[in-house]
Structure 1
Amino acid sequence: MTLVRRRTFAAGSAAFALTAPYVARAQKKYDPGVTDKEIKLGHTNPYSGPASAYGTIGKAIAAYWTMVNDKGGINGRKVDFISYDDGYSPPKTVEMVRKLVENDKVFAIYQLLGTPTNTVVQKYLNQKKVPQLFVATGASKWGDPKHFPWTMGWQPDYATEAAIYAKHIMANHPNAKVAMLYQNDDSGKDYLNGFIAGFGKEKDKFLVKVVSYEITDPTVDSQIIQLKDSGADVFFNHATPKAAAQAIRKVADLGWKPVQYLVNVSASVAAVLKPAGFDNAKGIITAQYLKDATDPQWADQPDFKDWQAWMKKYLPDANPADSGNVYAYAVSATMHDCLTRCGDDLTRANLMKQAASMHDLKVPMLLPGITINTSPTDFYPIQSVHLAKFDGAKWSLFGDVLSNESA
C-alpha cells in the first residue's frame, strides 16, 4: 500500500450487514422527516440535461431503498426516497432543495449530485442544520467540518485522485509532455489544482498545455485539437461522461496516440468507453475504489452475487456495465449503515454523529483493501484507490492500493 498525502491508512475491516443490529432501544427522538413508520430522504439528480448520464445513479438509489423497504425497512421504518430532476442546473437545484426541506420536510439531503449544484445549497443546508450527506461529487470542499459541519462527501476527493495520476506519470513517463482537459467549474479546478500539486516543482517540466470546456459546450473537439497541437504525449481527461467519450473518440480520429488518464467519475464502461469505442479506449488508465461489474474476477464474491441479484430484481432494464449502478449500491449501503446505527434517536445531529464515526467500515462492492473511515475532524470517508487499465473489454487492476485514509 502506498501513501500519497494527507493521511495514514488504518488497516482492517468491519463486515457490513444489511440486517446489522443497532443500539438498544431508548426513548424515541425524532426530527422532521421521521415517524415511527417512515424516514424521508431528499435528493436531486440530472435526469435530463448535459449530465443526464448520471441519472442512472438516482434510479439505482431508488431501487436500493425499494429493496430495503421490501425487507422491512430500517429498524421497522420504511425509507421514502424523494428525488427531483435538477438538470445539473444550480438555480433549479436551489428550488428543488428548498422544496425538499420546506415542503416535503425531509430528514436529510442525501447523495445530491454535482459540484456546482451542491455548492449553491451548502450554506442554506448548514444554516438549516439539515444533513447534506455523502454528496455525489469528490470536490475537496466537502470535507470541512469546521465551517460546514452538516456536509460530508463520500468518494475519494478529486485533488487526491489527480495527484495520484501526476505521481504515476512522473514515475513511469519521466520525459512526458502532459496535456489536460478539464471542466470549467469547481470540480475541474479541484482536479487541476490536485494535478499541479502532484507534479510539485516539476510542474513546468511536465504540464505543457491545459484547456477547459463548459458543461454546455456541444463538443470538445476544438479543445482536443489544441491539446494535440501542443505536442503532448500524455493526456489527462477530466470531463463528465458525454464530453469524456467525445474526447476519447476525437483523440483517435486525429491519429493522436498519447498515454491517456481518465477520471474515475467518467470511467463507466457502458456510459463512456462503449460510446467512445472500445478500441479507442484501450490502454486508458483510471483510479478505482469500487468493483467493476465487467471484471470476471469478482464473479464468486458474495457481495458481487448479491449486487447481481439486486440488479436482476430491482433494475432489470438497467445496464450492469454502467458503473453508476455499483456506485449507487455502495453509497446507499453506507447511508443504510448510518441510519441503522441511529436506532430510535433519529435526530439530524445524531445522524451526523453516526456518519462521523465510521471505522474500517466495509460496504458491498468496495475493492479489497479499501474501507470507510471518518471522525468528527475527518469528513473524507474514502481516500483509497487502485489504478486500473482498460484492456479493450474491461478494467484490469494493477499495482498497489494508493491510500489517504485516516484512523
Structure 2
Amino acid sequence: MRRTKTFVAAAAALAVSLSMTACSHEDSKKGAEAAKCSTSSPSTGSDSSADGTVPTANTALKEYGQSDGCTYSGPGGFTLDLSNCPANWKNDSGITDKEIKLFTSMPHSGALAAYGAIGDGIKSYFDYVNDNGGIFGRKVSLEVEDDQYQPDLTRKNVDAAVQSGSFASSFALLGSANNLNVQHEMNTQCMGQLLTAASDDEFFDPQKNAWTTGFGLNYLNESAIWAESIKQQFPQGATVALISIDNALGQSYVRGFKKAVEGTNIRIVTEQTNAVDAPNLNDQVTTAANSKAQVAVLIEAGTFCTQGIGAVEKSAWDPTLITSNSCAQIATTYVPLQEQGLTGNGTQVVRYYYAPTDVDNGNPTFAALAISTLKKHGLDANNAQYANGWFWGWYIVQVLKDASIMKGGLNRANINVAAHSYSSTYPLMASGVTGKVSGVDDAFPFEAGQVFRYTGATTTSAGHFEPVGSPIDNEGKLGNFTKASAK
C-alpha cells in the first residue's frame, strides 16, 4: 500500500512537471511569436527636410504596413508574412529609440577596392542626415565589412551579421556574383537585401524574393536604351561588337542587349570577354576591331573601363563606342586616359543621375553641399564613388522615413515594405528621371536615361558630356523580372 501511495505521488508530481514544461514551451512560443511580430506606434514627430537636402516621408504610405498580426502589405500587391521567418527572428533587431543599424559588404582591398568608397560616401551622407534631424530623431549607422569583391567572403560577412542579430537590414551589398551568392539565404532568414549595389535583373523580382530590392538602372532597361539609341543613330541598321567582363555583371548586360535587339536591324557580329583578373583588354579589342563593326559596346567596371576606351582609341578602328554606366565617371574613367596621351572623346554612355562635380548637373546648390560635406569628412569630392554613396544614401533614408510612418511603426518588416514602395527624386537626377517602385507591379526604380557623348577633353584637361538625341523612357514597360522574362 505504501508503494502504491508513493507511486501515485510520484505520478502526480511528474504530471505537474510535464504540465509546467508544456506551459513553459507554450509561453516561450508565444514570446517568440510576439518578438517576431512586434510593433510600435508610427512616428508623428517633426520630419525636417533640411531645405530639400534630406527626403521627407511620403504620407500616402500611412495606409500601409501591418495589416493583420504578422502580415504586412504595401502598394502594388506587395505582402509579407512574418510567420514564415525563422523562429528566433525579431522585428526590432538593430532598431532602438535612438538608432537604426544597417550593414553592408563591399571591397576595401583587392583589384576593385575603389568601389569600397561607396560605403564611405554613404556614411558621409548619413552623418549629414543625423546632423539634420535623423530619421524622426533616430540616428542611422552603417557597418561596412571588406570582402575583396569575393562572393565567399561576402557570404561570410552576411552570415556573421545575420547571426549577430544586431542589424535591421543590409543595404548596398556590392557586386553581382556577391549578391547572387547570398540572395537565397537572406530571403530564407528574412534579412533585408535592400538597394543592392548591383543592378542585375534578378534583384528586381519581389514575387520570388520578397526581401531583396535591386537598385540603379537595371541591365535590361539600360541595354534597351542602348538599342534604341543605336536605332536612332543608325536607322539603316548597324553591326555591333560586344566586349564584356566575364562575370555576372557582364553576362546580365549581354543577355539584356540580345533581348533588346531581337527582331531589329542591329546585328551582333562578335562577342569578346575578359576574365576579371585579365591584365588588360588589348587582345579583346584587337579581335573585335577585326570585325569592323560599326558599334562597339564596352561592358566593364573599374580600370577595365579606362583600358577598353584607351585600347579602342589607340587602334585604327573607329566605331561608335558605347560603355556601360559603370564607366560613366569622368574622374575615375576618363581623366586617367591623359597619362597615355589619350582623351576618350566620342565615347557614349547612359546617364540617369549626376555626380556633384559634373558641370552639367541640374542642381548646383545641392552639388555644392555634397562637395563641401565630403571635403569636411576628409573625402575627395572628385571621386565619383563617394558621390555614388550620397545617391544610395538618399534612397535608403527615404525608405527609413517612409517605414517610420507606416502602420506598426518602424520595424524590419515595414523597412522592407517601404523599400518596395518609394517614390523620390534625388536632387541630382537627370531631367525626367524619378526613382519609384510599387511592389510587384513595378519593381524597377529607374527606367529612363539619356545617352551622352564625352567631348572637349585634351591630353591635359578633362572634358564634359553632351546629350545625344532625346531622353529614352521605358517607364512601366517591364514590371518586374518575372514579367520581363516572360515577354
TM-score computed with the length of structure 2 as normaliser: 0.75
1:152 Cα deviation from its structure 2 partner: 0.5
- Distance in 2, Cα, partners of 1:273 & 1:226: 23
- Distance in 2, Cα, partners of 1:160 & 1:299: 23
Aligned counterpart in structure 1 of residue 319 of structure 2, from 254, 258, 274: 258
Aligned counterpart in structure 2 of residue 358 of structure 1, from 397, 422, 425: 422
List alignment gaps of at least 5 residues for structure 1: 1-13
- Distance in 2, Cα, partners of 1:244 & 1:158: 17
Structure 1 residues 293, 67: closer, same or farther in 2, change over 3 A? closer
1:20 Cα deviation from its structure 2 partner: 2.8
1:271 Cα deviation from its structure 2 partner: 1.3
Match of 1:20 in 2: 56
Q: Is the aligned partner of 1:179 residue 2:241?
A: yes
Match of 1:201 in 2: 263
List alignment gaps of at least 5 residues for structure 2: 1-48, 67-89, 458-462, 480-487
Q: Quick one: which amino acid aligns to residue 390 of structure 1?
A: Y
Match of 1:318 in 2: 380
Match of 2:471 in 1: 401
Q: Is the aligned partner of 1:339 residue 2:409?
A: no
Structure 1 residues 300, 189: closer, same or farther in 2, change over 3 A? closer
Q: Is the aligned partner of 1:295 residue 2:358?
A: yes
Aligned counterpart in structure 1 of residue 135 of structure 2, from 33, 56, 74: 74
- Distance in 2, Cα, partners of 1:50 & 1:383: 31
Aligned counterpart in structure 2 of residue 390 of structure 1, from 454, 461, 471: 454
Q: Is the aligned partner of 1:103 residue 2:168?
A: no
Aligned counterpart in structure 2 of residue 224 of structure 1, from 278, 282, 285: 285
Whether contact under 8 Å (1:39, 1:77) holds in the other structure is: yes
- Distance in 1, Cα, partners of 2:57 & 2:252: 39
Secondary structure, in 3 states, of the residue corresponding to 1:216? coil
1:213-261 per-residue CA deviation (whole Å, 9 max, x = no partner) reads 1112222221111111222232110011211111111122323222100
Match of 2:254 in 1: 192
- Distance in 1, Cα, partners of 2:181 & 2:429: 30
Q: Quick one: which amino acid aligns to residue 374 of structure 1?
A: V
Q: Is the aligned partner of 1:305 residue 2:305?
A: no
1:131 Cα deviation from its structure 2 partner: 1.0
Whether contact under 8 Å (1:270, 1:319) holds in the other structure is: no
Q: Is the aligned partner of 1:42 residue 2:78?
A: no
Structure 1 residues 99, 280: closer, same or farther in 2, change over 3 A? same
- Distance in 2, Cα, partners of 1:122 & 1:296: 38
What are the within-5 Å matches in structure 2 for residues 5-16 of structure 1?
none
1:11-33 per-residue CA deviation (whole Å, 9 max, x = no partner) reads xxx99552736879x99x95211
1:164-193 per-residue CA deviation (whole Å, 9 max, x = no partner) reads 212222331235331111121222121111
1:276-319 per-residue CA deviation (whole Å, 9 max, x = no partner) reads 348441011100111244432337633223322322322x4414
Secondary structure, in 3 states, of the residue corresponding to 1:208? strand
1:80 Cα deviation from its structure 2 partner: 2.1
Whether contact under 8 Å (2:375, 2:381) holds in the other structure is: no
TM-score computed with the length of structure 1 as normaliser: 0.88
**Superposition RMSD in Å:** 2.5
- Distance in 2, Cα, partners of 1:317 & 1:92: 26
Structure 1 residues 363, 153: closer, same or farther in 2, change over 3 A? same
Secondary structure, in 3 states, of the residue corresponding to 2:263? helix
Structure 1 residues 185, 300: closer, same or farther in 2, change over 3 A? closer
Match of 1:11 in 2: none
Structure 1 residues 349, 227: closer, same or farther in 2, change over 3 A? same
Whether contact under 8 Å (1:112, 1:135) holds in the other structure is: yes
Q: Using CA pairs below 8 Å that are at least 6 residues apart, which structure has the higher relative contact order?
A: 1
Q: Is the aligned partner of 1:144 residue 2:195?
A: no
- Distance in 1, Cα, partners of 2:115 & 2:151: 16
Whether contact under 8 Å (2:204, 2:443) holds in the other structure is: yes
Whether contact under 8 Å (1:155, 1:383) holds in the other structure is: no
Structure 1 residues 19, 281: closer, same or farther in 2, change over 3 A? closer
1:62 Cα deviation from its structure 2 partner: 1.5
Q: Bigger radius of gyration, 1 or 2?
A: 2
Match of 1:381 in 2: 445
Whether contact under 8 Å (2:223, 2:253) holds in the other structure is: yes
Match of 2:80 in 1: none
- Distance in 1, Cα, partners of 2:313 & 2:343: 6
Q: Quick one: which amino acid aligns to residue 185 of structure 2?
A: Y
- Distance in 2, Cα, partners of 1:32 & 1:363: 29
Whether contact under 8 Å (2:102, 2:169) holds in the other structure is: yes
Secondary structure, in 3 states, of the residue corresponding to 1:179? strand
Structure 1 residues 21, 264: closer, same or farther in 2, change over 3 A? closer
1:328 Cα deviation from its structure 2 partner: 1.6
Whether contact under 8 Å (1:38, 1:79) holds in the other structure is: yes
Aligned counterpart in structure 1 of residue 337 of structure 2, from 266, 276, 282: 276
Secondary structure, in 3 states, of the residue corresponding to 2:369? helix
What is the number of residues matched between the two proteins? 388
- Distance in 2, Cα, partners of 1:186 & 1:82: 26
Structure 1 residues 20, 170: closer, same or farther in 2, change over 3 A? closer
Secondary structure, in 3 states, of the residue corresponding to 2:416? helix
Secondary structure, in 3 states, of the residue corresponding to 2:437? coil
